[in-house]
Amino acid sequence: MIAFAIVLSTLLSYALGALIGIPVLLPLLNAAAGVPFMIQALRRGDLPLAVARMLLWALAMGVCATLWSFARPTQSEALILRGEAYRVEMFSWVMTGKGEESTPSRFLPRHLAHAAVFAALALSTGSLLAMPMGAVLMNYMGHYVGALAAASRHPGWVMVLGWHPWSIIRIISFVAIGVVLSVPLLSRVTVIRIDGRLAKRWLGLAAVGLIVDVALKALLAPAWQRLLLRATGW
């Protein structure tokens, strides 16, 4: 029942965001659809459940953003922060194989900056601002995938391949970081008791995930670009 509520509330956050039409409000609405369920699980002392709920939330966002941009790329482009800039950047990479996605010296600083800012926001705001940041990242990734599928001869394959495996690992890692680092502040305003050793274990796994993300991207991005190019039929 909770899983259904998470998916439904996430879907409604996109519908409401499209209705209001103010780009900056969309990630806030997205976060409001998931964070209360995370806090509920943390108040029960169940860290793995909180992570699982936020992973489901992230999955729902990915599906919604992708399908929205596939069906109405012009509308999603206007409402998703950095959606157009990221789409142009990634379309160029898919067509030419050149760009930040295949250049570790360029993508590594951005990855480090995103991780540092996200972790700082999670600690300082109980993830109340970190999760909207995560929603921004999810939305412009989903916009790129959906728009790429809409412009492709094989949209089904592109919707799958467009979510690069290293990106999925990064999303999982960010979710774990956001949940764990929300606890120190949230525990000051509500009753939350989490096993410290378990929390450190989750943070360790998330750190490993971020390293694997970078390694896979550096190794696989050139081959993945060629795979995507064939799938698009360009």
Q: What's the mean per-residue pLDDT of the chain? A: 97
pLDDT tens per residue across span 143-184: 999 999 999 999 999 999 999 999 999 999 999 999 999 999
**Rg of the Cα atoms in the chain:** 18
Separation between Cα atoms, residue 60 and residue 205, nearest integer Å: 23
CB atoms within 10 A of CB 227: 14
pLDDT tens per residue across span 59-75: 999 999 999 999 999 99
Q: Whole-model pTM?
A: 0.96
Separation between Cα atoms, residue 225 and residue 186, nearest integer Å: 42
Please state the rounded mean pLDDT for residues 175-202.
Answer: 95
pLDDT band of residue 222 (cuts 50, 70, 90) is very high
Separation between Cα atoms, residue 110 and residue 36, nearest integer Å: 29
Q: Are 82 and 89 spatial neighbours (Cβ–Cβ below 8 Å)?
A: no
Two tokens at 44? Answer: 């029960």
Sequence-distant (6+) residues with CB within 8 A of 190 are 39, 43
Q: Are 133 and 126 spatial neighbours (Cβ–Cβ below 8 Å)?
A: no
Domain assignments of the chain as residue spans, ordered by start:
2-232
Two tokens at 30? Answer: 């997205």
Alpha-carbon distances of 103 from 51, 88, 218, rounded to whole Å? 31, 17, 7
pLDDT tens per residue across span 116-139: 999 999 999 999 999 999 999 999
